[in-house]
Amino acid sequence: MNRLFFQEVKASHLYTALLSVIVSVAFCMPAVANSLDNISNPNLKEFTSNELRRGAPSLYTTSRVLYREAIETLESGDWEKAREKLTLCATISGDYADPMFTLARVELMHAHPDFLYHLIEGIKRTAGNYHRQSLLAINLLFLIVCATTVTLLMAMVILLWKYWRLIEHRINESYSKRFAFPPGRFIGSLIIISLLFMRLGIAIYASLLILSLWPVINKRERTALSFLTVLVIAFSLSAPFSNVLIPAVDEGSITRRFSMMNMSGVDGELYNSIRTIDNRDFIAEKDFALGTLNYRLGRYDMARQALLSSVSRRSDFPQAYLNLGNVYFMQADYNKALAGYQSVIAIDSTSALAHFNIGQAYINKMLFAQSSRALKKASVEGIEKYRAGHPAVMLRDLTVYDEGFPTTELWSIAWRESRGQNDILFDKLLRPYLLIPFGWLGYVLAAALMTAMVLSRKTLALFTAFNCENCGSATCPECSEDTTGLRLCADCSKTIRGLSSVKVMEALLRHRRQKVSGSRSSRKRLKTAFVPGSTWLMSGKTHRGIIAIYVEVSAALSLIWAGMYFPDPRGLPLTDPFFRVIFLISVILVVHLISLRVRPAREQKNFRVLPPDFRIDPVVEKETATERPASVEPKTNDQRFETFLDSL
């Protein structure tokens, strides 16, 4: 039959056929053919062989065992041997990123040039795997949400600390007018302690802080606070969308069960976990999964039925068509197999696997020219890339390649699966601290922000408090005096009361200023050094302060969570103290050390006292205010001084 065949084909076709055979043989060469021989543990070797027999697309467990051994070897100090083991476990699993990162770190520490390649490869593997992607995404998102909320809260607490003198002064003033008991100076602290004792939840505290701070903080601080509040509001209102990431942390989710198909060989547990899916929205996917698992087990009839069912329910499912084609291929029905593959091409013309399998089908149909074209197309579309990423497939020595759920498909399934979920994961996690649903936090904060804006305009006088222009102590319009051209607090006014000499007044005010603000600034610097970012906020560098708080809070949260809030249940526990502890503590310490160097910006202030002739008698001022045209009189101290200097 062979002789007849060769007689029939033309000479040119013969060269093409030979070329095709060479190409296909070259393409089919297992790149990691010797990897299994490098496994020293006979049990593991047998387990791996069984996994391959059961159609494992990835040798995740084998790789994990080897990785564990590599870590133990590394801890024993034999880094060369550990490097060999890490290379082996990285080679036999195409989507396990941890060995690559460890390899990169070990090589970096030993100044090996390959560290960069392994680092990039590790990042690629992380980015290419649905489970890794979603796990990273949910951890990052949760860290950002928590860090932003805590940063907002901390920034407000620090600002409260900064402006506490002003707020307390207003409380004291309002209270002392009505009551003499308990003493007014205790009331502010008493309110704070009582509120803390009541444990009203972060949402209420944040709202109260916004309301109390808004009238006293400056424009820059308002901008920063508004930005953070709007961020938290945005997170809160978009919280339902975060549910798309729940399958990443729910080992019982449909998405996770489907994704497990890409990680191990078929066993009873995996098969049953998919078979028991009863959600009618995912029947096509379930049939596809069952069909693929049956195909991998060699149960082609069951596989065909399931896959046919899948494609009948979902006509735009290229993976189902591909695996159905494979079933027909294995049953030597090459025309139907080709039909299946062509269906894949019709949906996705860039499918390297479909082109490759078409090439294989043509070889079996002895149509070498078509086979050659298909294989070339497969090569162009990246069949080598697929092989490099799926070492287990190469070890199985397959003629045609099947496909599990791709990453994009799993994201789509996760989206659909989470859509019907009424509860929000972040809400469940944060509600014990917020005491209200996370979704409501946005509304509460928005209401607080708007109320603060309105209240601070409408009832400005009630909240107006400012620093004494001499000593910086808190004062308000009711207890301050500005006849001397400076807005002075009661104590400063008392110091110069009854005096007429500018020289004496300035000397007295200078002495008081040095005494009060000198002791205050040294105390403040000492205290603020212990609170992250506070030195920046206290010295008026708001944006830097917020960034410093954010960095420190993020590092502190990561430290508390030992790396990630949602650890990979199938990942090795992070034992390396560098990333888990040392790096995070270093970040906190570095920010603290930088903050110790922060000095408040020196501003030029006018402490000059107006001569008696230029002072305005408040009584006369009040009487003449109605007669005078509006805003002719200089208002600020500097303006008054300019008038005074002009008169000279």
Partner 1 sequence: MALEGNAKDFGLSEIFQLISIQKKSGMLSIVAEENIAIFFQDGMIMSTRDRRNKSKDPLKDYLLRYGFIDRDEMNNLQQIQSGSNMDLTEILLSEKYFSEDELTAIFAEQIYESIHEVLSCPKSQYKFVIGKNVLSGIKSYASLKVEGVLMESMRRIDEFPEMRRIFPSEDMIFQKNPSSSTDKEPDLSGNEEVIYDLLQHERTLEYLVSHSRMARFCTYESLKRLLETGLLEFREAEKAEPEKIPEKTVKTRKDKRKRFVPTFAIMIILVASFAVGEYLVPWLMPPGWKARTSGTLTASVPETAGLTVNPDELRIRSLKATISQGLDEYYGSMGSYPFTLEVLAIRNFISGPTLELVQQAGIRYRMNDNGGAYSLQ
- Binding interface with partner 1 (CB under 8 A): 41, 43-44, 46-48, 61-62, 64-65, 68, 181-183, 186, 190, 193-195, 197-201, 243, 246-247, 249-254, 264, 269, 278-279, 417-418, 421, 423-425, 427-429, 431-433, 435-436, 495, 498-501, 503-504, 507-508, 510-512, 569-570, 573
**Considering the complex, what minimum distance in angstroms separates the CB of residue 19 from partner 1?**
42
> Could you tell me which residues are beta bridge partners of residue 481?
488
Contact (CB, 8 A) for 100 and 121: yes
Torsion angles phi and psi, residue 481, rounded to 5: -135, 135
Q: How far apart are CA 618 and CA 481, in angstroms?
A: 9
Comparing CB distances to partner 1, the nearer of 269 and 621 is: 269
Instruction: Please state, in angstroms and rounded to a whole number, the distance separating the CA atoms of residues 164 and 451.
Output: 20
**What does the alpha-carbon distance between residue 546 and residue 535 come to, in Å, rounded to a whole number?**
11
CB-wise, 182 or 477, nearer to partner 1? 182
Q: Which lies closer to partner 1 via its Cβ, residue 34 or residue 501?
A: 501
Note every long-range contact of 218-226, with CB atoms under 8 Å and residues 24 or more positions apart, other chains counting. 218/540, 220/540, 220/542, 220/543, 221/159, 221/537, 221/542, 223/542, 224/155, 224/542, 224/543, 224/546, 225/152, 225/155, 225/156, 225/159, 226/449
Contacts of 249 (CB under 8 A, 6+ apart): 135, 138, 425, 566
Rounded Cα gap, residues 490 and 479, in angstroms: 6
User: Least CB distance from residue 533 to partner 1, whole Å?
Assistant: 25
Residue 208 C-beta: closest distance to partner 1, Å: 14
Nearest CB to partner 1, comparing residues 34 and 189: 189
Tell me the closest approach of the beta carbon of residue 142 to partner 1, in angstroms. Answer: 12
| CB atoms closer than 10 angstroms to residue 143 | 17
Q: How far is the CB of 127 from partner 1 (least distance, A)?
A: 22
Q: What is the DSSP string of 345-363?
A: HHH-TT-HHHHHHHHHHHH
Residues in the chain: 648
> DSSP character for 600?
P
Q: Which is nearer to partner 1, 153 or 367 (CB)?
A: 153
* HSE-CB for 487 with a 13 A CA cutoff: 18
Nearer to partner 1 among residue 113 and residue 268 (C-beta): 268
| Dihedral class, residue 206 (left if φ above 0, else alpha if ψ from -120 to 50, else beta) | alpha
Nearer to partner 1, 2 or 194 (CB): 194
Give the number of other CB atoms < 10 A from CB of residue 31. Answer: 13
Q: Would you say 181 or 627 has its CB closer to partner 1? A: 181
Of the pair 243, 558, the CB lying nearest partner 1 is at 243
> Which residue, 198 or 234, has its beta carbon nearer to partner 1?
198
Residues in CB range of 43: below 8 A, 6 or more apart: none
**Residue 488: beta bridge partners?**
481
Q: How far is the CB of 62 from partner 1 (least distance, A)?
A: 6
Q: Which is nearer to partner 1, 168 or 427 (CB)?
A: 427
CB of 396 to partner 1, least distance (A): 17
Residues 531-543 as b/e (b if ≥16 CB within 10 A, e otherwise) read bbbbbbbbbebbe
Looking at residue 359, its amino acid is G
Helix (H, G, I), strand (E, B) or coil at 474: strand
Identity of the residue, 110 or 497, whose beta carbon is nearer to partner 1 in the bound complex: 497
Closest CB to partner 1 among residues 247, 404: 247
Min CB(568)–partner 1 separation in Å: 9
Closest distance to partner 1 from the beta carbon of 121 (Å): 23
Q: How far is the CB of 403 from partner 1 (least distance, A)?
A: 24
User: Measured from the CB of residue 57, what is the shortest distance to partner 1 in angstroms?
Assistant: 16
Tokens at 134, concatenated:
């979603």
Would you say 308 or 499 has its CB closer to partner 1?
Answer: 499
Q: Residue 466 is inside which H or E element, if any?
A: strand 466-467
Nearest to 173 by CA among 491, 479, 488, 481: 479
Sign of dihedral through CA atoms 151, 157, 161, 167? positive
Q: Report which of 54, 446, 391 is spatially closest to residue 229, judged by C-alpha positions.
A: 446
Q: Could you tell me the smallest distance in angstroms from the CB atom of residue 183 to partner 1?
A: 7
Find residue 474's DSSP bridge partners.
467
Residue 509: CB minimum distance to partner 1, A: 9
Give, as one character, the DSSP assignment of residue 242. Answer: G
Q: What stretch of H or E contains 313?
A: helix 300-313
State the nearest-atom distance from the C-beta of 469 to partner 1, in Å: 18
Q: Residue 379's beta-bridge partner residues?
A: none
State the nearest-atom distance from the C-beta of 511 to partner 1, in Å: 5
Which is nearer to partner 1, 272 or 639 (by Cβ)? Answer: 272
46 is written with which tokens? Answer: 């047998």
